[in-house]
Amino acid sequence: MTVVDSPEKALFVSTTQSFLQKEMPLARVRELHAAGTSFDPAWWQRAAQLGWTGLLVPEELGGGSVSESGVADLAAIAELLGKTLAPGPLYPVAVVLTALAECTDAQAHAAVIESLIAGEAVASWAVSEPGRGWEPLDPSVTATPTAAGYCLEGTKDRVEAGAQSSLLLVVARCGPDGSEIRQFLVPTDAPGVRVEPQQSVDLVKQYARVHFDGVVVDSAAAVGSAAETAALIDRQSQIAQVLQCAEVVGVVQTVFDFTVQWALDRHTFGRPLASYQALKHGFADMKLWLEACRATTAAAVADVADRSPAAGLSASIAKSYVSEMAGRIVQGCVQMHGGIGVTWEHDLHLYLRRVTLYRALFGTPEEHNLRVYEAEKADRCAAGRATT
């Protein structure tokens, strides 16, 4: 996805890469884990100063992309993040900014947008719920209208950087019959909000379960109108999914590269490991899967960036394939390394943890397979009706 097609993009990518190599190498990730920390807020502000946070925000609201596509620029950053497993709330902040910048009342949220772009505040998307799959448009959290605004009740799950966020964008069901879906900006220090940290398989990615017990917000907390909320949530979902896929491609490429180098450097019976036919075939399979991951992700990024009618389907195809194959490739690389591949000291398990975590977020491969199937079935039915 890191297509460098202009001097500005080349400078942006090289600056980001240098920043990550200097500020967030794997040794630093291990240090953060030992300290029980997800990310340093000062580090995040420096990352924001590089332009990471404003790529999906129009210039009139203080943002701006490097190329003509903020989604493609952000996917390039995500791929680079995968190389060093950098932490930070890039995805939740990007998703929240997408909703704030694209809703009809964007100017009403200008102050929040400015603080998020500057890295002074962190916000996260509270969309998943305990014991439920990926159903962003079917929340159980309720927002009951009151004289002053709304009263939120319920629980959200797997909220990235929930404990580090000052604001949450909460998807809730409201309206007289509960048929209306809305999103609300809720301060994490509001009365009735309780943040419960959750254990994550990743070393530095931290999540939380957030309880809303009679949380009262005013009407200005609503983001977007009722009529546009479903489209906004769909757009946010697509962006979250393709960015996640882009990072996983960066992870898999890095693991594949250092595993190939390991097989070339390591000798047994006087020959490099890479010279054995069985390993050659394994590497060939992994390379094929890796390039397929890259191609499906690139297609999804392009469709989402262009707001194609097929963007949702493309994102599901990428999320399904990349999530399924990334784990297989990294596990294969673990086997290629032999006993050293399962030690704490080796970096392999750090990458395996990240792809394992991402497999379950924003929809599992099985859930996205069903979405692809339903889309294809609908197309076949439509084609059948057109021919009758």
Residue 2 domain-assigned (yes or no) = no
- Check whether residue 213 and residue 168 sit in a common domain: yes
**Beta strands per DSSP E along the chain:** 123-126, 142-145, 149-160, 167-174, 180-187, 193-198, 207-218, 267-268, 271-272
Q: Same structural domain for residues 245 and 289? A: yes
- Among 52, 87, 121, identify where a domain stops: 121
Q: Are residues 212 and 235 in the same domain?
A: no
The answer to whether residue 86 sits within a structural domain is yes
Q: 129 and 47 in one domain? A: no
pLDDT at 386: 66
Are 117 and 130 members of one domain? no
- 233 and 205 in a common domain: no
- pTM for the full predicted model: 0.92
Q: pLDDT band at residue 52, thresholds of 50, 70 and 90? A: very high
- Domain of residue 116, residue span: 7-121
Residues 220 and 187 occupy one common structural domain: yes
75-79, 247-251, 381-385: lowest mean pLDDT where?
Answer: 381-385
Rounded to the nearest 10°, the torsion over CA 205, 211, 216, 222 is 50
Instruction: Evaluate whether residue 362 is within a structural domain.
Output: yes
219 and 266 share a domain? no
Query: What are the pLDDT digits (tens) for 155-174?
Result: 999 999 999 999 999 999 99
pLDDT of residue 271: 84
**Do residues 366 and 340 both lie within one domain?**
yes
337/383: higher pLDDT: 337
Query: Cα separation of 287 and 257, whole Å?
Result: 10
We report the CATH number of the domain holding residue 193 as 2.40.110.10
CA distance 90 to 164: 13
| Distance of alpha carbon 259 from alpha carbon 279, whole angstroms | 11
CA gap 237, 240 in Å, rounded: 5
Residue 216 covered by a domain: yes
Q: Do residues 46 and 168 share a domain?
A: no
Predicted pLDDT at 5: 65
Which of 222, 215, 218 is closest to 189 using CA atoms? 215
Span 205-246, pLDDT tens digits:
999 999 999 999 999 999 999 999 999 999 999 999 999 999
Residue 178 has pLDDT above 80, yes or no: no
Please say which residue of 224, 250, 280 terminates a domain.
224
Count of the separate structural domains present in the chain: 3
Separation in Å, CA 322 to CA 78, 327, 371: 14, 9, 15
Q: Residue 379's pLDDT is what?
A: 74
pLDDT of 4 above 70: no
The model's pLDDT over 89-126, given as tens digits with 9 standing for 90+, comes to: 999 999 999 999 999 989 999 999 999 999 999 999 99
Within a domain: 253: yes
Domain harbouring 58, CATH code: 1.10.540.10
Of the pLDDT bands very low, low, confident and very high (cuts 50, 70, 90), residue 294 is: very high
300 is a domain residue: yes
In-domain check, residue 285:
yes
What CATH code is carried by the domain that includes residue 382? 1.20.140.10
Domain check: are 41 and 59 in the same one? Answer: yes
Residues 312 and 289 in one domain: yes
**Last residue in a domain, options 224, 254, 288:** 224
